[in-house]
């Protein structure tokens, strides 16, 4: 893994500034702690991108830079901006906003029941957010994606599918930028809405001290499958933001999360 310091990836004009920052600054030497061993064994047999940003040390650690620069569909990680847009537009009223299951049988049992916003985020319920997208409408959705400068901002594939391996794409660096602005309540949404979405991202069963907030996402593709796990870890007054994506056969978000936790545990155990 490669480390960069003295490079604060706060948003300036766009997320491209972060990518430029990473490309131009040489790996730091001397007193910068190193991660022992490559990251690849944590994610075999998949190809992986990992971005870790330590707020306290202002240090970005990157693995698999080519893949981190690759635009991919956000899949269910789009539920983060989707929920924010839904709350801001009034398409949903809060974490307990219930939508009724229409009786359509889905492969995942969790999808075959009513859901509120919090459970739809937790269980990654596609039909719930398809309904939310319809309620938001194309014009308002496009306006908000433009305002966020989210990925390529392309919703042309349709309101029920644009984030599901179709028209909308985002890079790992752009995901990291959104997460860090959300942590600070710096996104163009009401603070209460940002706080509510952050609470709904809490990973209650994470095998680490402190608190992990995050969202998985998975997309099946014609060329390759890919999965995401994005979020941040708060522990001992420190915050580590992370973006992980995997590509390859059956490279799902749940796999990304399961494979990432051991890396994070090792990171924590050697005092990062």
Candidates 28, 76, 119, 241; catalytic one: 76
Confirm whether 57 is a catalytic residue.
Answer: no
3-class SS string, the chain: CEEEECCCCCCCCCCHHHHHHHHHCCCCCCCCCCCCCCCHHHHCCCEEEEEEEECCCCEEEEECHHHHCCCECCHHHHHHHHHHHHHHHCCCCCCCCEECCCCCCCCCHHHCCCEEHHHHHHCCCHHHHHHHHHHHCHHHHHHHHHHHCCCCCCCCCCCCCCCCCCCCCECHHHHHHHHHHHHCCCCCCCHHHHHHHHHHCECCCCCCCCEEEEEEEEECCCCCCEEEEEEEEEECCEEEEEEEEEECCCCCHHHHHHHHHHHHHHHHHCCC
Q: What are the catalytic residues?
A: 76
């Amino acid at each position: 893994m490669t480390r960069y310091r003295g490079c604060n990836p706060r948003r300036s004009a766009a997320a491209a500034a972060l990518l430029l920052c990473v490309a131009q600054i040489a790996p730091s030497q001397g007193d910068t702690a190193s991660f022992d061993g490559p990251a690849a064994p944590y994610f075999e047999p998949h190809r992986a991108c990992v971005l870790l940003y330590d707020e306290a040390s202002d240090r970005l650690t990157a693995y698999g830079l080519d893949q981190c620069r690759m635009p991919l569909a956000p899949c269910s990680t789009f539920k983060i901006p989707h929920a924010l847009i839904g709350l801001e537009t009034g398409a949903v009223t809060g974490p307990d906003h219930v939508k009724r299951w229409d009786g359509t049988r889905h492969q995942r049992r969790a999808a075959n029941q009513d859901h509120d916003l919090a459970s739809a985020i937790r269980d990654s319920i596609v039909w719930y957010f398809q309904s939310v997208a319809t309620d938001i409408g194309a014009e308002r959705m496009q306006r908000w994606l433009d305002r966020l400068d989210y990925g390529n901002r392309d919703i042309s594939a349709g309101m029920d599918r644009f984030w599901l391996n179709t028209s909308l794409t985002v890079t790992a660096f752009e995901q990291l930028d959104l997460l860090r602005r959300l942590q600070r309540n710096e996104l163009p949404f009401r603070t209460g809405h940002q706080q509510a979405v952050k609470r709904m991202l809490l990973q209650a069963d994470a095998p680490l001290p402190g608190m992990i907030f995050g969202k998985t996402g998975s997309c099946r593709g014609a060329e390759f499958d890919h999965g995401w796990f994005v979020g941040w870890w708060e522990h001992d007054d420190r915050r580590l933001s992370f973006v992980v994506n995997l590509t390859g056969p059956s490279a799902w978000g749940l796999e990304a999360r399961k494979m990432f936790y051991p890396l994070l545990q090792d990171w924590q155990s050697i005092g990062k």
